[in-house]
Structure 1
Amino acid sequence: MSFSKSGGKFIISLDFELMWGVRDIVTIDSYGQHIAGVHEAIPKMLACFQRHNIKATFATVGLLFFSSREELLNNLPHKKPNYKVTNLSPYGDYMVKSVGKDHHSDRYHFAPELVRLIQNSPGQEIGTHTFSHYYCLEEWQTIDDFRDDLQAAMITAKKMGINISSIVFPRNQFNINYLEVCKEAGIITYRNNEESWLYNARSGEKESLLRRAFRLVDAYVNLTGHHCYTEKYMSAKFPVNIPSSRFLRPYYSKLQFLDWLRLRRIKKSMTHAAKNNLMYHLWWHPHNFGINQLENFSFLEEILVHYRYLNEKYSFTSCTMTELAKEIIEGQGNLRNTI
């Protein structure tokens, strides 16, 4: 039975990256508290998910799987991206000068124990956020660089007994030309961006303050719609596109007085999806919950309580990206032959 007849779907994905995802824009001195807090936040999230029967996809950067710098350096891909903006690359001096000896001494770059915790948590999926937090729209990187990066991510996960079948593109730099590489690697689903000019994928250099400002407003007031999706929309091509509906912005004290609007925005869209048998996809980074954990988890709790209500009333169901993709594929005979 297709989900359009059996009830809507609630997807949560998390971009699990530690410093590898922000090292080009912040430092450990300025942002380290957020990153260190991930080691406390993820166990809390998993407990919260279990309490509310939530399944989630943790799109994880391959570099944080390792236990030591030596192990990391011995498992790098052969080809590495030669970005025009050289600071985007984590390779070279950064790995030698900024990465600690092992996961005991460096909680900013390594988290094998968190990967294992997620792996052993019922209902949770580990997907890939590429090996090196790879930027697919930046100048001078190539599709062959991406292929080697993705292969390294798959091999690294496989060594821990994890079979990767979903991908989230770092910085939401979705590149349609790279889907064939994903397909070859065994990826069956990916997260694309919301259907709006505000969210269209761009390189870092082409991003604008205007778009950022409108996205901020859209988090509180409905400027661009609910971003809920039909099974037909998601099944148009293979791999299966499971687009984002909303980024769960972290608590910000200066905008605390507007949090009721932020919550209402999310709950209304979830309700719209549940009533109309659509898919709603919420995402964030674990480091967004690295600080202000009381406020962030209280906000998440309200969302998940609302999910429970929708689940009971409308059969709105939580599932991972791969679970939903498999359900869609099973309902579409020759979907794997399209791209």
Structure 2
Amino acid sequence: MNNGIFTISLDFELLWGIFDKVGNSYKPSYFQYTRLLVLDTLETFAKNEIKATWATVGMLFAQNEEEWKHYSPIQIPSYRDPNLSAYEFVKNSGLKPEVHFAPELIQAIIATPGQELGSHTYAHYYTLMRGQSPEQFRQDLQATQKISQDKFGIRLKSLIFPRNHINELYLPICLEEGYTQVRSNPRNWYWQETQHEDLSKKWFRSADCFFRVGEKTSYPKTQMQILENEPLLIPASRILRPISKSNKVFNRVRLNRVKEEMLSAAKAKEIYHLWWHPHNFATDPIAAMIELNEIMSHFQTLKSEYGMVSMNMEGVREMVVC
């Protein structure tokens, strides 16, 4: 295929993605908005014939605490810092359906054309944190596959590591447990080893949202290689950062950066991989959806003028294999 490719992946987590940062101090309305925004986003994708991968925390598949316990693995992550463990959080704080379970939203993802249901691990698992083990990670992946197959009849193929903590030693485990493609980080140095968040990396990542400070974010299809005993690594290009309510200039500049990168990829017939967390849109739901529709309109222009096509992560792998 000699066309530019627009790929979208979403890290769908609800509270499981930020419990170790916010605890119980979150605003319930934030996740109420998120649940509605998932449906709005799906409708927008369907209208624009956008294919996307929804990497979903496996615990969201459960209907209630009974199911959550039933599918949880025997070996859970033994982080040195127990505050990183979803299981320890539940032990101390309990489970609340509105922030911990979302099977109806998963069903909506499945029912929307072009959407791929992927995995964000079962328990928002951190593969680079001390104390956890390869076997614990394997059992986490198995738990996600089991609940997905039992409840929705789907064997998941795409995986996104939480917090972009990619443990390369664990890649063979991913493939053995059915994951044929994994999102990897951009190639720039400030996206590597994301568990070590020094100020220079944060500064360069923030600056790159406004102007180019590293390598070009899109990449040619020829860089995509399937290595023996590993899933295909599909690099991310750009995170769509949350709306700033207080800085309209910030919002416009960072959105223009995304659109310029999409245009560059379309002209060069390269891959551009945009990602975000659905809950990021809850910062300012109306403005976020206006921005998403602007990105969709831009894609339609690039599709018409340069033949750019939309692919989810599974579609990208199929293209590479062919």
Calculate the TM-score normalised by the size of structure 2. Answer: 0.95
Structure 2 portions without partners, runs of 5+? none
How far off its partner does 1:82 sit?
A: 0.7
**Any gaps of 5 or more consecutive residues in structure 1?**
331-339
Deviations 1:59-105, CA, capped at 9 Å, x for gaps: 0000011010121112210111111111001114x3244233xxxx6
Partner of 1:208 in structure 2? 198
Match for residue 281 of structure 2? 289
In the other structure, the counterpart of 1:127 is 118
Pairing partner for 2:64 from 62, 68, 78: 68
1:229 maps to which residue? 219
- Report the Cα offset of residue 31 of structure 1: 4.3
Equivalent residue for 1:270, pick from 262, 265, 270 = 262
Q: Paired residue for 2:291?
A: 299
Corresponding residue for residue 141 of structure 1: 132
Q: Which residue of 2 aligns with 1:334?
A: none
Q: What is the rounded CA distance, in whole Å, between the counterparts of 1:121 and 1:236 in structure 2?
A: 29
1:145-190 per-residue CA deviation (whole Å, 9 max, x = no partner) reads 1101011111111112122000000000011111100111111111
User: Is the contact between residue 245 and residue 284 of structure 2 (CA under 8 Å) also seen in structure 1?
Assistant: no
Aligned residue in 2 for 1:252: 244
Give the counterpart of 1:99 among 80, 85, 94: 94
* Equivalent position SS for 1:113: helix
Residues in 1 aligned to 2:131 and 2:23: alpha-carbon distance in whole angstroms: 25
Shift of the alpha carbon at 1:28? Answer: 3.8
1 CA distance for matches of 2:233 and 2:34?
28
Partner of 1:229, secondary structure, is coil
Q: Deviations for 1:212-240, whole angstroms, at most 9, x for unmatched residues?
A: 12211211111123311222211252411
CA-to-aligned-CA distance 1:276-331 (integer Å, 9 cap, x gap) = 1110000000100123111111111111111000011111000110011011112x
- Equivalent AA in structure 1 for residue 198 of structure 2: S
Match of 2:147?
Answer: 156
- Kept in 1, the 8 Å contact 2:9–2:273? The answer is yes
Q: 2:30: which partner in 1? A: 34
Q: Which amino acid aligns with 1:177?
A: L
Q: Does 1:13 align with 2:9?
A: yes
Q: 1:33 to 1:214 in 2, by over 3 A?
A: farther
- TM-score by length of structure 1 reads 0.91
CA RMSD after TM alignment: 1.4
Three-state SS of the structure 2 residue aligned to 1:24 is helix
**2:222 maps to amino acid:** K
Which AA in structure 2 matches 1:132? Answer: A
Task: Return the match for 1:280 from 267, 272, 296.
Answer: 272
Matched residues, number: 319
- Deviation larger for 62-71 or 214-223: 214-223
Structure 1 position 29, deviation (Å): 3.0
Match of 1:49 in 2: 45
